[in-house]
Chains A and B, each alone.
Chain A
């Protein structure tokens, strides 16, 4: 775990190294899987396509597990407080965005898993660990779940853009430490000094 450069500060001022690590790991994995997902759907059928689909599904399962870990970690380690001067509506917006992002981080891989089951393609994590099929094969349901998976993904993309925009706004306009404290290496070192 990271140690703050200003240990005198209250525990609510910085993220733990684990929280920062999981944030960026999951961020990169989600953006990567999203891009791969967009790319792979229209590919003509080929061994390559089957491989990419498998990797996409394995990534989804992995992300889901990381999110479980992350939520557990977050419940045990209070994230730092928002800057004191933030208006109430912004606090509410930030909270709502984060709650929705967490919900979607669970819902997106879940919808993908259910879609795979309904389409008759079981998910076998890294080709080794079979996940149970919660749904029987059903073409209509599979197509519907594909729409659901896509809509959840685009909702998440919109929220990620809002999340990113807000972080940049905090950094460039408000000039507070909201962005910096989530950055690896420098996050903890500078979080006490920016304000």
Chain B
């Protein structure tokens, strides 16, 4: 008896939640953040990108159908100091004059259970497109869905830091990327 009640409740919840299907697709740049930690001489140095856009849609009832795209204006980087900002815009690093934007396009979203997902997609930086997967956790904050995650990107894969910077002794290959993307819902 108890179990059937529980089943009924569950079924009702599913029906109700699909009836009120919501899709989080209004990207909130002001609440989102894209930061990274590089290691210089084994010392972590924090940085961030100030300008990026995302097109995303996420229906909690159909997470696998979620879509996500991210475009980052590489010139908006704050790499820790003015010297560093000028340097990473140069040819050896991002070459922002030729490649102003980095782009990530998600190709699949795999639910990992709970509120965790694995997002796989194509990352394009400096003219190179490579597969990239990132673990993402999702939580709801009022009317917003917050997607957070972090991943390690190897700068050499995209030729970020060439020539004299190619040696990992001063600037490590691994760069820790942290992201928080916030989107509000549009009721269907």
A residues within 8 Å of B by Cβ? Answer: 45-47, 50-51, 53-54, 119-124, 127-128, 130, 137
Contact = CB atoms under 8 A, between A and B. Distances in A.
B61 interface: no
Interface string B169-185: 11100000000000000
Contacts of A137: 46
A122 B83 CA distance: 17
Interface of B: 40-46, 80-81, 83-84, 86-87, 164-165, 167, 169-171
Contact of B83 (A45, A47, A124, A127): A45
A127 B46 contact: no
A135 B80 CA distance: 15
A184 B93 CA distance: 51
Contact of B44 (A50, A54, A122): A122
B170 A120 contact: no
A187 to B, nearest CB: 39
Nearest to B43: A124
Given A47-B171, A50-B170, A122 B43 contact: yes
Contact of A51 (B41, B86, B165): B41
Contacts of A54: 41, 43
A127 B44 CA distance: 11
A47 B171 CA distance: 8
Contacts of B43: 54, 121-124, 127, 130
Contacts of A122: 43-44
A47 B81 contact: no
Contacts of B44: 122
Contacts of B81: 119-120
A122 B43 CA distance: 7
A50 B87 contact: no
Nearest to A120: B80
B170 to A, nearest CB: 4
B45 A120 contact: yes
Given A47-B165, A47-B170, 12 more contacts: A47-B169, A47-B171, A50-B170, A50-B171, A51-B41, A54-B41, A54-B43, A121-B43, A122-B44, A124-B41, A127-B43, A130-B43
B167 to A, nearest CB: 6
A177 to B, nearest CB: 45
A121 B86 CA distance: 17
Contacts of A45: 83-84, 86-87
A106 B187 CA distance: 63
Contacts of B84: 45
Nearest to A127: B42
Nearest to B87: A45
Contacts of B42: 124, 127-128
